[in-house]
Amino acid sequence: MKKGVTWIAITSLIVMSLILASCTTSTTTTSTQAATSTSTISTTQTKTTTTAINTTTATTKPVTTTATSGKWWDRLGVPQYGGEMTFRVDKDISGFDPYQSGLMTLQSAWMERLFADDWTVDPAVFDYTIPYRPAEFVGGYYAKSWEFTGPGVFVIHLRQGIRWQNIAPAYGREFVASDVIFHMERIQGVNGNPVTSLNANVAYRDVGSVTAPDKYTVVMNWKITNPEIILETMQAHGGDTCQENPEAVKQWGNVYDWHHAVGTGPFILKDFVSGSSATMSRDPNYWGYDERYPGNQLPYVDTLKVLIIPNLATTMAAFRTGKIDVIDGLQ
């Protein structure tokens, strides 16, 4: 059974390439992450990732191909659609708003970031087991490409066609540059806003301003000019980097309540019981496609179940009996 569960974890993490690695802070499952393009840190760095984007509303799941691509991931088998994936966390979910909480294991299923891991990188080359991601192994979610146009001037070009989930109050509108600015002002206190968030990153105090010259471009003017420090800050994993929906915050004042959870991610939160579990369902209109199989819309699984189990012995017993597919928080 353990071998079977490990297989589910590996192949499901292909499913979750835009999910579990986005905002989690500690995941111990075997992951096979990746990237095909490389870059060096310089004041003119530009990098574009390979994730395919669908600019129209998807209504059906593409059929996976069985043909081999000659890539390292062929040995993992062909991903399949359907089923339920269950993973364990060891702490209760303390909040649903990045303003309030850094515990993002749950939020990462429906909230996304500018940058991410690149899931086409062979784990034999880089296995993402350390917090720091060298520049050549960083991919993008919202960010399609990025560059330095001058000392301390960091420009991010957003993907087009990314949409908020088609639920109130976002109703499926497109994700644009003003959403990034809203998040940066609210969480990080940029553009002269006071830093009151419990989850603010002190490194962003070196940001002088964030502007949007158009719908798909974000320009960050840093007070420092070291490109490596800027890139490490921007590409860092953490709950403070997940993007909340502006309409939801404006309507309810915050999104602490799970009923107000709305994002651009692949799952929609359907139920939450404090100290027990959370259940999410596949968003059929999700914008992301599998980097390894570009014709496959993500996610693959229909249901994502999160079980909150603090006790390690109980966790391992559930894992051995196939009740848990992935263990998060194992030290």
| pLDDT value, residue 149 | 97
N- to C-terminal Cα separation, the chain: 22
**Cα separation, 46 vs 38, whole angstroms:** 10
Mean pLDDT within 18-30? 36
**DSSP-derived 3-state class of residue 69:** coil
CB atoms within 10 A of CB 103: 19
**Cα separation, 43 vs 27, whole angstroms:** 33
**Cα separation, 95 vs 127, whole angstroms:** 30
Q: Give the up-direction half-sphere exposure of residue 182: CA atoms within 13 A in the CB hemisphere.
A: 16
Structure confidence by residue, pLDDT tens digits, 151-188: 999 999 999 999 999 999 999 999 999 999 999 999 99
Backbone angles phi, psi at 12, to 5 degrees: -70, -30
Residue 191 structure tokens: 């553009």
Please name the residue ranges forming H helices in the chain: 2-15, 20-23, 177-188, 227-235, 246-252, 312-320
Structure confidence by residue, pLDDT tens digits, 309-327: 999 999 999 999 999 999 8
| pLDDT value, residue 107 | 78
- Cβ proximity of 58 and 286 under 8 Å: yes
Structure confidence by residue, pLDDT tens digits, 251-285: 999 999 999 999 999 999 999 999 999 999 999 99
**Cα separation, 22 vs 239, whole angstroms:** 9
- Cβ proximity of 146 and 157 under 8 Å: yes
Cα 77–chain centre separation: 24
Task: Give the domain extent around 125.
Answer: 2-327
Average predicted confidence (pLDDT) for the chain: 80
Cβ neighbours of residue 171 closer than 8 Å, sequence gap 6 or more: 164
**DSSP-derived 3-state class of residue 27:** strand
Q: Whose structure tokens read 């080359």?
A: 125
Residues in the chain: 331
The pairing of strands 47-48 and 143-150 is: antiparallel
| pLDDT value, residue 128 | 84
- Can you give the CATH number for the domain in which 289 is found? 3.40.190.10
Mean pLDDT within 40-51? 38
Mean pLDDT within 143-154? 96
**Cα separation, 103 vs 74, whole angstroms:** 34
pLDDT band at 290 (very low <50, low <70, confident <90, very high): very high
Number of domains in the chain: 1
> Can you list the positions of beta strands (E) in the chain?
47-48, 84-89, 115-117, 138-140, 143-150, 153-158, 207-214, 217-222, 267-273, 277-282, 303-308, 326-327
Which of these, 221, 203, 232, 219, lies nearest to 41 by C-alpha position? 232
Cβ neighbours of residue 283 closer than 8 Å, sequence gap 6 or more: 110, 165, 265, 266, 267, 268
| pLDDT value, residue 5 | 33
pLDDT band at 129 (very low <50, low <70, confident <90, very high): confident
Is the overall model pTM greater than 0.75, yes or no?
yes
